[in-house]
Structure 1
């Protein structure tokens, strides 16, 4: 892939052979800010797993101590009292069959998280092929199929995120913004790190976390010392 001049200039600020300490990696990635907007800080975990094996399809949820810095749009599939709970909690979109049809017929996908009550799941089967590939399908494993609608909406609005391994064995997720302090980013990273390590499948042999990188929306990646993360 051909890189732009700005990207190549940023690359000169990184020692690509070095595994930076947690503090060094955070400070380095913050210094790579080059865009006029508040860039997202992303963490990438390369895991020694085979996602084709059901028991190694690593996924989970974590509420970051300082949130993501992003305004999260939450959609809730619910009716009656639970629909009102969702509205009271601040959900952006709430509905049942009407929302399903809007997604199915109009391709509506202007939301970041979808939550559903268990009774709605049968109806959602019609749009599973639309939501699934975009990682928007409600799931009990991610805590997005629940009767506790009010608290769940509040948690996702406050910075609760879902992490899941892709088909190559890699987790990409957000840990904050470039405007966050180093301490905020570190606490968010360590919270995510702990959740990923606790999600280690029992069938995995050898080193579970192979590589970890931090990057900004518009920057190259900075390699983090995995051994330090495992001790954190």
Structure 2
């Protein structure tokens, strides 16, 4: 695939051999954006864990102080007595059986699924569809709860969930290139501090192995991990 002129210019601004401070990376990620839309700013965190071990399969959630800049589409799967609470809190879709059928038929046009504990046995069969898309409700990320209104409010207010992939990397969107440098910095710090707090006692060696920042279609910028270890 041919590299566009804009991408070549962007690539030339990022020194592949340099480790940038968080402030430098947040400034640079805005400069090298080549898209005409308000691109997502993503953080990629490489961890010294073995995701195959249950206690090292890091997953969690964090509320970003400045949100993600994207309105999350939320589906609440619950019993009829909880539907009004979910709707009032701003859920985009609320129900149960009809949405289970839609998901089985291939519908996944949502960003977050929240479920009450009582309906989880019904949702279990959707694991093959929802699991790979990181949409499966989970008590660890606060998406299995009886307080559906609070959960919807948190998601709409900037709460994100994350989990380590098979390669030991966590990928998360922490904002938009339209955000100012300070907001990108503060959201990044909040996410990585949350990941550091989840360090398993069984993980040996360096836990925070590498951090990079990139916007959609832009080159990755290596961030100095010392920013987060003080």
TM-score (normalizing by structure 1): 0.96
Q: Where in structure 1 do 4 or more consecutive aligned residues deviate above 6 Å?
A: none
How many angstroms does 1:7 deviate by? 2.2
Tell me the C-alpha RMSD between the 2 structures.
1.1
**Kept after mapping to 1: 8 A contact 2:7/2:34:** no
Task: Please show how residues 1-232 of structure 1 align to structure 2 within 5 Å.
Answer: 3-105=3-105, 107-231=106-230
Cα distance in 1 between the residues matched to 2:141 and 2:42 = 20
CA distances 1:3-56 after superposition (whole Å, capped 9, x unpaired)? 444322211001111110111111111111211100110000011111000010
5+ residue gaps in structure 2? none
**Kept after mapping to 2: 8 A contact 1:22/1:229:** no
How many angstroms does 1:103 deviate by? 1.0
Aligned residues: 230
**Kept after mapping to 1: 8 A contact 2:77/2:96:** yes
Q: SS of the counterpart of 2:189?
A: helix
Cα distance in 2 between the residues matched to 1:212 and 1:50 = 17
5+ residue gaps in structure 1? none
